[in-house]
Amino acid sequence: MSEKAIKERMSGNEAVAYAIRQVEPDVMPAFPITPSTEIPQMVSTYIANGQMDTDFIPVESEHSAMSAAIGSEAAGARTMTATSSAGLALMWEELLLAASNRLPIVLTLVNRTLSGPININCDHSDGMGARDTGWIQIYAEDNQEAYDNYIQAFPIAEDSRVHLPVMVCMDGFITSHAVMNISLLEDAAVKKFAGEYHPEEFMLDAEHPVSVGPYAISHYEMEAKRAQEAAMERAKEVILEVGKRYGEMSGRSYGLFEKYRTEDAEFIMLIMGSAAGTAKQAVDELRESGVKAGVLKLRVFRPFPEKEIAEAVKNCRALAIMDRCESYNGNSGPLGSEVTAGLYRNRVFIHAVNYIYGLGGRDFTTEDVKQVFEELKETADGRLAEQQHKYIGLRE
Amino acid sequence: MRTDIQKINESSPWTELTEGFRIQASGNSAEFHTGEWRTNTPVFLADKCKQCLLCAPVCPDCAIPVSEGRRGEFDYDYCKGCGICAKACPFDAIVMKEGIEP
């Protein structure tokens, strides 16, 4: 049975802060950085007003924020934090420790580009830079998904099959600061869904002492990393279960990705984050003029659902893989590399063209999307050679 | 289910390690004998020692056992040969010797 919905209008940051108040984790260490600053600010206000009972730790840096989160989570407290861009980069070493120590911390990442040039606007270079740190990564299209993904993050992270940290990502400013209509859940429903945190092992359990993060000699290191990878593989089924259960409660179900008009699509755009909304709008307009276009909006980037993506796009004539991030590998962005590798491994040999768009907050419009679909059609018809790694809206 | 860490050894498959490679016990650093890292060795000259105990707290491991207010002979299982104790001693009661034997 569906829970009662509360109609509101909120920015993405407000929506996540609201969800944090509802989940009410035990501890939040955080350091402010644009555009995620509002999240710890709003949570601090909730705490000051007596609306929630979370211990807020004002730390001196993001390095300290993640270190404190690791200590707190290892002690047995449900812990979350929020950051952006350079803040995530400063957490780098600790991100890997949080994952390898199997600590189910939840981090809201408000995506912002990494320097340089220094810039405060959206792209995915922060999240993509952390793609091999062992964190689950879930990307939101809008404020509603940011809210919904946040509430699902705890049951995913804390599942005994997983025990991995989760990064809940939304686009800086575009999602974090733009106000939209949103459907919220009642506090009790969120608390029930997120459940109470009862870790099987924690450092403050004096009856069952445990040492976290020991040194491993070469005889153990590979085995430890393989076991961590297995947890990431298991996360996929847990994410699907939680997404389904969330749908039964809220009326909004979630999978690894969303297929938008892809069933009969000849041309598909694979895209992540807020720009998926732009792509869907363009696809609706193209459909009216008879172009069989579709969008595959990737929600879960880690674990990477390559088999499922390959299955979803195998019948189209051409695929555009959209990266809001440069990878500086001389060939493609990160999604370009991983999706094409996945297509090859699953023996799906369609045209797959990688584009770079929206770096540092550059506009990405429905006209840009239509241009990409036009190029896909020309490529599939053999009138245009595949133009890999093309920048959209670049002044040439 | 807490794994019996006594059963984990260098032949254990990856599926049998503890989650996060945790050690489900405490106080186990004593089982880690860092003394095998040593290339230089401190020698304790008991007749020069005034028992001021400046050496014991600067030892980064637990190579200087103290009992009833007096230090005893080095516990070489934990001595990495760093030489900090020899620097700290005001009475030349600790001398560093090349090699792993005292």
Tens of pLDDT, residues A109-165: 999 999 999 999 999 999 999 999 999 999 999 999 999 999 999 999 999 999 999
Does residue A243 sit within a domain? yes
Beta carbons of B20 and A216 less than 8 Å apart: no
pLDDT at A1 over 50: no
Question: Is the domain of A336 the same as that of A239?
Answer: no
Question: Is the domain of A123 the same as that of A178?
Answer: yes
Position A33 confidence tier, pLDDT thresholds 50, 70, 90 = very high
- Work out the widest C-alpha separation in chain B, in whole angstroms: 55
Question: Is the domain of A245 the same as that of A364?
Answer: no
Non-local (6+) Cβ contacts of A192 within 8 A are: none
What is the CATH classification number for the domain harbouring B71?
A: 3.30.70.20
Which of chain B's residues have a Cβ under 8 Å away from the Cβ of A223? 12-14, 17
Summarize the confidence of residues A84-98 as an average pLDDT.
98
Does residue A76 sit within a domain? yes
For residue A201, what are its two tokens?
């092992």
Q: What is the pLDDT of residue B24?
A: 86
Beta carbons of B14 and A100 less than 8 Å apart: no
- Select from B14, B20, B24 the Cβ nearest to the Cβ of A223: B14
Q: How many domains does chain A have?
A: 2
Question: Is the domain of A269 the same as that of A343?
Answer: yes
- How crowded is residue B25: how many other Cβ atoms within 10 Å of its Cβ? 14
Question: Is the domain of A33 the same as that of A130?
Answer: yes
| A47-88 pLDDT per residue, tens | 999 999 999 999 999 999 999 999 999 999 999 999 999 999
Question: Is the domain of A100 the same as that of A230?
Answer: yes
| A322-380 pLDDT per residue, tens | 999 999 999 999 999 999 999 999 999 999 999 999 999 999 999 999 999 999 999 99
A15-39 in b/e burial notation, b at 16+ Cβ within 10 A?
Answer: bbbbbbbbbbbbbbbbbbbbbbbbb
Question: Is the domain of A225 the same as that of A327?
Answer: no
- How crowded is residue B57: how many other Cβ atoms within 10 Å of its Cβ? 10
Non-local (6+) Cβ contacts of A187 within 8 A are: A22
Instruction: Give the angle B34-B35-B38 at the CA atoms, nearest 5°.
Output: 110
For residue A239, what are its two tokens?
């994410």
Q: What is the pLDDT of residue A45?
A: 98
Among A250, A278, A293, which residue terminates a domain?
A250
CA distance A138 to A272: 10
Question: Is the domain of A138 the same as that of A199?
Answer: yes
CA distance A139 to A273: 6
Count CB pairs under 8 A between chains A and B.
58
Among A205, A234, A250, which residue terminates a domain?
A250
CA distance A150 to A128: 19
Q: Which residues constitute the domain of residue A31?
A: 5-250
Among A250, A272, A301, which residue terminates a domain?
A250
Beta carbons of A209 and B26 less than 8 Å apart: yes
Question: Is the domain of A101 the same as that of A246?
Answer: yes
Q: What is the pLDDT of residue B1?
A: 47
Does residue A212 sit within a domain? yes
- Select from A163, A211, A228 the Cβ nearest to the Cβ of B23: A211
Q: What is the pLDDT of residue B2?
A: 65
The ipTM assigned to this model is: 0.86
Residue A50 Cα, gap to closest chain B Cα (Å) = 36
Residue A138, beta-bridge partner list: A168, A300
CA distance A61 to A90: 8
CA distance A372 to A289: 16
Q: How many domains does chain B have?
A: 1
Q: Which residues constitute the domain of residue B49?
A: 5-98
C-alpha pair distances (Å), A245 with each of A139, A248, A388: 19, 5, 40
CA distance A377 to A356: 18
Q: Is the dihedral of CA B28, B34, B35, B41 positive or negative?
A: negative
Question: Is the domain of A117 the same as that of A34?
Answer: yes
Question: Is the domain of A177 the same as that of A279?
Answer: no
Q: What is the pLDDT of residue B43?
A: 97
Beta carbons of A210 and B28 less than 8 Å apart: no
Nearest partner of A327 among A391, A379, A370, judged by Cα: A391
Mean pLDDT computed over every residue of chain A: 97
Does residue A396 sit within a domain? no
CA distance A80 to A105: 6
Which of chain B's residues have a Cβ under 8 Å away from the Cβ of A224? 14, 17, 20-21
Enumerate residues 10 to 69 of chain B having a beta carbon within 8 A of any beta carbon in chain A: 10, 12-15, 17, 19-28
Backbone angles phi, psi at A168, to 5 degrees: -100, 115
Tens of each residue's pLDDT in chain B, 102 residues: 466 777 889 999 999 999 999 988 888 888 889 999 999 999 999 999 999 999 999 999 999 999 999 999 999 999 999 999 999 999 999 999 999 988
Helix axes of A143-157 and A12-23: crossing angle, nearest 10 degrees: 30
CA distance A149 to A30: 20
CA distance A272 to A97: 27
Beta carbons of B25 and A101 less than 8 Å apart: no
CA distance A126 to A83: 10
Question: Is the domain of A241 the same as that of A101?
Answer: yes
